[in-house]
């Protein structure tokens, strides 16, 4: 089968032919139809994660995976309901099944987690073996190229918005800010409208084209932050919503300057959730965080329940996308494009 593998950090992927992997009795072999490209693919190649997990090479990249059931393992129970030809998405974050996080369904934060696309198997290959419990059947009428991004770009902000909702930060009299309207932020705007209990949504970004997409996806207001101080942005926010601060923030960038800006606009008892990883360290004043009793948290990817809920929304045509498809042979070209920020929305490799 064709596979795109990284043999050396900092070097282009090698597009090569390798054997189709055998499956274990509890696994299903999925024929990959589409796999989304993510900024973390670029970060993996460029060595961003090595200080946290130095993954041995070769690595088959690609973690936003959708395809068709090809072969079913011998002990996959019939009640699981899988049949050859079913359309499926792959839930990332394969836990050990025994830790306290796995026991409550949060397999993606298992201390012994395995990630497709960050090891021997990944979605930039024609086939991938997947433990049956990490596959979700989907409506066959949904295009593969729109399903693939939902397994990460579409799931990560969904979980973040749920955390804001469950913390009581969203209500009809509240203002929620979406910072960074890239691959994740476009989805975050939509989820803020769906799950926000009537909260008004303000999108913040530097790119007018991305802000236009945010408006198209339902943002009540958009603010261009390029070249502006926090005080200037606060004044624009007041003109838009009658207030200078935000009750809730979902940060889809995670760049140091964006974090500093978002926290400078956070209200008393405000809630901030970061899902972005553009930067690596932040420097923010501590006293306002304590004296204003703000809650700052992270949200990482999502679990099977999150993905199943997103698939239900997709089946109801409640999620909109901006997707560019490309061929397997163009992988390295699109990695370079993503590295320099040329891609608006999501890029999806389609076999």
The domain locations on the chain are: 2-153+302-350, 156-298
Asked whether 144 and 97 are in contact (CB, 8 A), the reply is no
Q: Residues 6 or more apart from 251 whose CB is under 8 A from it?
A: 179, 180, 258, 259, 262, 272, 273, 274, 275, 276
* pLDDT given at position 279: 83
Report the topology of domain 2-153+302-350. Quinone Oxidoreductase; Chain A, domain 1 (3.90.180)
- The one-digit pLDDT tens for each residue of the chain (351 residues) are 999 999 999 999 999 999 999 999 999 999 999 999 999 999 999 999 999 988 999 999 999 999 999 999 999 999 999 999 999 999 999 999 999 999 999 999 999 999 999 999 999 999 999 999 999 999 999 999 999 999 999 999 999 999 999 999 999 999 999 999 988 999 999 999 999 999 999 999 999 999 999 999 999 999 999 999 999 999 999 999 999 999 999 999 999 999 999 999 999 999 999 999 888 888 999 999 999 999 999 999 999 999 999 999 999 999 999 899 999 999 999 999 999 888 888 999 999
* pLDDT given at position 291: 96
Asked whether 104 and 55 are in contact (CB, 8 A), the reply is no
CATH number of 156-298: 3.40.50.720
Provide the whole-model pTM. Answer: 0.95
Q: Give the three-class secondary structure for 26.
A: coil
């Amino acid at each position: 089968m064709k596979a795109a593998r990284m043999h050396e950090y900092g070097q282009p992927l090698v597009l090569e032919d390798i054997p189709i992997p055998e499956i274990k009795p509890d696994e299903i072999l999925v024929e990959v139809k589409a796999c989304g490209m993510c900024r973390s693919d670029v970060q993996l190649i460029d060595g961003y994660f090595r200080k946290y997990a130095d993954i041995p090479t070769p690595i088959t990249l690609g973690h936003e995976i959708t395809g068709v059931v090809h072969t079913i393992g011998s002990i996959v129970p019939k009640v699981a309901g899988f049949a050859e030809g079913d359309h499926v998405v792959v839930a990332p974050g394969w836990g050990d099944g025994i830790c306290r996080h796995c026991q409550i369904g949060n397999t993606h934060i298992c201390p012994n987690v395995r990630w497709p696309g960050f090891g021997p198997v990944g979605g930039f290959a024609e086939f991938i073996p997947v433990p049956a419990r990490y596959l979700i059947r989907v409506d066959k009428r949904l295009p593969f190229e729109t399903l693939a991004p939902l397994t990460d770009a579409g799931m990560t902000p969904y979980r973040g918005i749920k955390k804001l909702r469950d913390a009581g930060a969203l209500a009809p009299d509240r203002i929620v800010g979406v910072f960074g309207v890239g691959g994740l932020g476009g989805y975050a705007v939509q989820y803020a409208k769906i799950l926000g209990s009537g909260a008004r949504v303000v999108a913040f970004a530097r790119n007018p084209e991305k802000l236009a997409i945010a408006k198209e996806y339902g943002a009540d207001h958009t603010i261009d932050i390029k070249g502006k101080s926090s005080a200037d942005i606060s004044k624009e926010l007041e003109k838009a919503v009658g207030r200078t601060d935000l009750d809730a923030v979902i940060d889809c960038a995670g760049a140091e300057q964006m974090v500093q800006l978002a926290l400078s606009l956070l209200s008393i008892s405000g809630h901030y959730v970061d899902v972005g990883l553009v930067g690596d360290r932040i420097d923010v004043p501590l006293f306002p965080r304590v004296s204003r009793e703000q809650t700052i948290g992270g949200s990482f990817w999502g679990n099977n329940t999150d993905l199943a809920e997103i698939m239900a929304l997709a089946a109801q045509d409640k999620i909109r996308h901006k997707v560019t498809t490309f061929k397997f042979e163009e992988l390295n070209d699109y990695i370079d494009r993503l590295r320099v920020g040329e891609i608006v929305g999501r890029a999806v490799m389609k076999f």
